[in-house]
Amino acid sequence: MRALRAKAGRWLGRLPRPRTLRARLTAGLVVLLAVSCAAVGVAAVVELDGFLTSRVDQQLRDVGARYPASLEHGVPPRTDHDGDEHGDTRRQASGTFGARLVHGRVTNAAVVPGVDSDDSTDLTARLTPHDQAELARLPLDGTARTVGLSSLHRYRVVATRGEDGDVLITGLPLEPVEATVRRLELVAAVVFGAALALAGVTGALWVRWSLRPLSRVAATATRVSELPLASGEVALPPRGPKSDPRSEVGRVATAFDRMLHHVEDALTKRHASEERLRSFAADASHELRTPVASVRGHAELALLHPGPVPPEVTRALERIAAESARMGEMVDEMLLLARLDAGRPLERRPVDLTRLVLDAVTDARAAGPGHRWTMELPEEPVTVTGDAHRLQQVLANLLANARLHTPSGTKVTVSLETEGPAAVLRVHDDGPGVPEEVQPGVFERFTRADRRRTGASGGAGAGLGLSIVAGVTEAHGGSVDLESRPGATTFTVRLPLG
Q: pLDDT tens for residues 431-487?
A: 898 888 888 888 887 766 544 444 333 334 556 788 888 888 888 889 999 999 998
| Cα 147 from Cα 132, distance rounded (Å) | 11
455, 450, 416: which is closest to 436 by C-alpha? 450
**pLDDT tens for residues 381-391?**
889 998 888 89
Q: What is the pLDDT of residue 80?
A: 46
CA pseudo-torsion sign 47, 52, 56, 62: positive
Task: For residue 407, give every residue at least 6 positions away whose Cβ sits within 8 Å of its Cβ, in sequence order, or none.
Answer: 431, 432, 455
Residue 130's SS3 state is: helix
What is the 8-class DSSP label of residue 442? T
pLDDT for 111-130, tens place per residue?
A: 888 655 555 455 777 888 88
pLDDT digits (tens, 9 = 90+) for 241-299: 666 667 766 777 777 777 877 777 877 777 776 667 666 666 666 666 677 777 777 77
Sign of the alpha-carbon torsion through 287, 293, 299, 304:
negative
Q: What is the mean pLDDT of residues 207-213?
A: 77
Question: By the 8 A CB rule, do 299 and 319 touch?
Answer: no
Percent of the chain with pLDDT over 90: 17
Q: What is the pLDDT of residue 245?
A: 67
The yes-or-no verdict on residue 233 having pLDDT over 70 is: no
Contact in structure between 413 and 433 (CB atoms under 8 Å): no
> Which pLDDT does position 78 carry in this prediction?
47
Give the E-state strand segments of 66-200 in sequence order: 97-102, 105-111, 123-124, 145-149, 153-161, 167-173
Mean pLDDT of 219-234: 69
Q: For residues 126 and 134, is the Cβ–Cβ distance under 8 A?
A: no
Most confidently predicted of 3-12, 32-41, 216-225, 310-319: 32-41
* Cβ proximity of 78 and 122 under 8 Å: yes
Model confidence at 74, in pLDDT bands (50, 70, 90)? Answer: low
- If you average pLDDT over every residue of the chain, what do you get? 79
Q: Is 445 exposed, middle or buried (0-12, 13-18, 19+ CB in 10 A)?
A: middle
CA gap 192, 197 in Å, rounded? 9
> Mean per-residue pLDDT for 12-26?
67
Compute the half-sphere exposure of residue 143: CA atoms within 13 Å on the CB side of its CA.
4
CA distance 228 to 244: 31
Looking at residue 1, its pLDDT comes to 59
- The per-residue pLDDT for 452 is 41
Q: What are phi and psi of 427, to 5 degrees?
A: -120, 110
Mean of pLDDT values over 64-68? 83
Long-range contacts of 262-267 (CB under 8 A, 24+ apart): 263/236, 264/234, 264/236, 267/229, 267/233, 267/234, 267/236
Please give the share of the chain, as a percent, with pLDDT higher than 70.
75
Tell whether the model's pLDDT for residue 205 goes beyond 60. yes
Quick one: which H or E segment has residue 319? helix 311-341
Ranking 117-121, 345-349, 360-364, 441-445 by mean pLDDT, the lowest is 117-121
Per-residue pLDDT at 9:
59
d(CA 378, CA 413): 14
**Least confident piece of the model among 4-18, 93-107, 199-213:** 4-18
C-alpha–C-alpha distance, residues 374 and 357, integer Å: 11
Query: Is the predicted pLDDT of residue 229 greater than 90, yes or no?
Result: no
pLDDT in the model for residue 284? 63
The pLDDT assigned to 211 comes to 74
The whole-number pLDDT of residue 154 equals 87
Whether the predicted pLDDT of 147 surpasses 60: yes
CA-derived radius of gyration, the chain: 50
Torsion of CA 318, 321, 323, 326, to 10 degrees: -130
